[in-house]
Structure 1
Amino acid sequence: MAAPSPPYGTVPPTPGAEPLPELDVPPPGRQHRLTVLLRLLLLVPHAIVLAVLSFLTFFVVVVAWFATLVLGRVPDPLWRWLAGYVAYETRFDASAMLLTDRYPPFQVLGEPAGYPVRVLLRATPLNRLAVFFRLILVIPAAIVTSLAVAGWWAVALVTWLIVLILGRMPQPLFEATAAVLRYRMRVSAYLLLLTSAYPKRLFGDQSSADAAIGVVRGPSATRPLMMSTAGQVLVGLFLVLGLVSGGSSAATGDHDSGSGSGYDSAPVGAR
């Protein structure tokens, strides 16, 4: 009898391969137009749950930060909670971003059986110095993911109309959307001490070495994420639009209250 699958699609170690968090999303398929039309409304209960989970996770990660400075790793119970939170958030975002038509389950711990969107993580020892400076080290990746997410939302209405009319997401748009979601998931995993691997590969996995993560390939369109030129161009467009919208927001803030905000860590679909 085969051994049961570990939670969160844990990736077994592979010599010489960096254990980046991975994302499984099935290839783009037909979507029900009614659920596309009402997608954000249908996800309101999940948004409420995610807000509560985000509040609790703040305290969990603070405890995990101190514990990791002492132990050199995140204690297992805390790691399972943080991994479950990232997986829940990613399933929510995948649905909000129209990557899947399947309604996400209300499950935090463990991997929901049969759900097509999966986050693959592997617990590893962490460098204490990198943990101590984690909030500083994550700033460049946080800026990139903020720009990409803002740019995606700048064209979200167009994306929604395309999927609503066609009943599916075109391949280049799927690739770009999946790339943004995967990169944001990697930033969350790094920030929450779930991995030592710095977020990378926003523009996809372009070589066999990039995809060598030590797992058997399944029906996934994102592991590895091999992007077409059109998909990469769309990711670049998202970054440009995010930069433009960020500059506009900053200018508006200067003329209004003068208040600003840093990296927006709210879930993609809840923005």
Structure 2
Amino acid sequence: MAQTPGPGGWTMPVAPGPPEFLPILDIPEPGRQRRLTILFRWLLLVPQAIVLWVLSVIAFFAAVIGWFAALVTAELPAPIARYLTGYLGYDTRVTASGTLLIDRYPPFSLRQRPDFPVLVQVRPGRLNRLAVLFRLILMIPAAVINSLLGAGWVVLSFFIWLLALVLGRLPRPVFEATAAFVRYRFRFNAYVLMLTSAYPKYLFGEEWPAPGEEPPVSATRPLVLGGPGKALLVAFLVLGLAGHVTADFAQSGNDSDKTVNTAPAP
């Protein structure tokens, strides 16, 4: 039990607070995929994207209501926590399919199915009111990383899709880097939605369990990245940054052209 200084220099025991639960994402090892489903993967997921958009609108209002409630009670109301947890799981399953990590079509359901290869664990609980109050500010660094990762993956998405189509599977480094991105995105969204007080971490994975420790549960628990996988993950970040900078320059150029074209003649 931890000790804390008291009056006169004596110490008193302090019970440790509950540890933060870092949301868990389980994805199986990369295996063979059907080339036909790879070929039409993104087209097949269009209905899922439409449903997700509708659910995201509801999730936004639920999160706003939950934010006010958490400021008062230091936790999300149970119905809101259940909905946001279901939405987050649904979103993560669709993302895993869209990034070619799995070859199963996600079910149209907020409930987690044990037979589906993508499993999530989220444990909504007590929240720090001050962290809830400043959640939009605190999440900025993680939001930047998440945005860069997503933009970088999109830049390389055609080549990743083509490689998977030719090989009938994702090469291990591509799987590792993509899984790291999807897991970070999942943990970031859990933090934004106040389903956890744990800040997203371990972007570059963990170490292999030491002998005698708990054996690996899935390909992402623990997520161990080799050198090529880490290099590709860095490439996502760099390409994402380059894409944002290029887009900003292009937008500035367009704004300048509009200003010149709309300026009154002398």
1:269 is matched with which residue?
Answer: none
Give the whole-Å Cα distance in 1 for the aligned partners of 2:50 and 2:179.
Answer: 24
Aligned residues: 238
Give the whole-Å Cα distance in 2 for the aligned partners of 1:88 and 1:257.
Answer: 39
Q: Specify the SS of the correspondent of 1:206.
A: coil
8 Å contact from structure 2 (residues 25, 119) kept in 1:
yes
Give the CA deviation at 1:113: 3.4
Give the whole-Å Cα distance in 2 for the aligned partners of 1:125 and 1:181.
Answer: 25
Q: Counterpart amino acid of 2:120?
A: V
1:86 is matched with which residue?
Answer: 88
Residues 1:159 and 2:157 aligned together: no
Give the whole-Å Cα distance in 2 for the aligned partners of 1:125 and 1:197.
Answer: 11
Give the whole-Å Cα distance in 2 for the aligned partners of 1:88 and 1:255.
Answer: 39
Q: Specify the SS of the correspondent of 1:256.
A: helix
From 44, 47, 57, the equivalent of 1:45 is: 47
Give the CA deviation at 1:255: 1.3
8 Å contact from structure 2 (residues 28, 118) kept in 1:
yes
8 Å contact from structure 2 (residues 20, 197) kept in 1:
no
Give the CA deviation at 1:19: 1.4
- Aligned pairs for 1:229-248 (under 5 A) are 229-248=227-246
CA deviations over 1:125-149 (Å, ceiling 9, x no partner): 1000000000110000000010011
Give the CA deviation at 1:257: 4.0
1:60 is matched with which residue?
Answer: 62
**CA shift in 2, pair 1:16/1:223, >3 Å:** farther
Decide which moves more: 249-258 or 25-34. 249-258
1:25 is matched with which residue?
Answer: 27
- Aligned pairs for 1:1-271 (under 5 A) are 18-108=20-110, 110-206=111-207, 208=209, 218=217, 220-257=218-255
Give the CA deviation at 1:18: 4.1
Give the whole-Å Cα distance in 1 for the aligned partners of 2:232 and 2:18.
Answer: 31
**Structure 2: 5+ residue runs without aligned partners?**
1-16, 257-266
Q: Specify the SS of the correspondent of 2:52.
A: helix
CA deviations over 1:171-195 (Å, ceiling 9, x no partner): 1110000000000111100000000
Give the CA deviation at 1:76: 1.2
Give the whole-Å Cα distance in 2 for the aligned partners of 1:240 and 1:151.
Answer: 7
Give the whole-Å Cα distance in 2 for the aligned partners of 1:52 and 1:115.
Answer: 23
Q: Counterpart amino acid of 1:100?
A: I
* Alignment RMSD: 1.8
Give the whole-Å Cα distance in 1 for the aligned partners of 2:18 and 2:170.
Answer: 36
Give the whole-Å Cα distance in 1 for the aligned partners of 2:48 and 2:39.
Answer: 17
Give the whole-Å Cα distance in 1 for the aligned partners of 2:255 and 2:95.
Answer: 31
| Bigger RCO of structures 1 and 2 (CA < 8 A, at least 6 apart) | 1
Give the whole-Å Cα distance in 1 for the aligned partners of 2:144 and 2:232.
Answer: 18
1:266 is matched with which residue?
Answer: none
Give the whole-Å Cα distance in 2 for the aligned partners of 1:30 and 1:224.
Answer: 21
**Structure 1: 5+ residue runs without aligned partners?**
1-14, 259-271
Give the whole-Å Cα distance in 2 for the aligned partners of 1:17 and 1:68.
Answer: 19
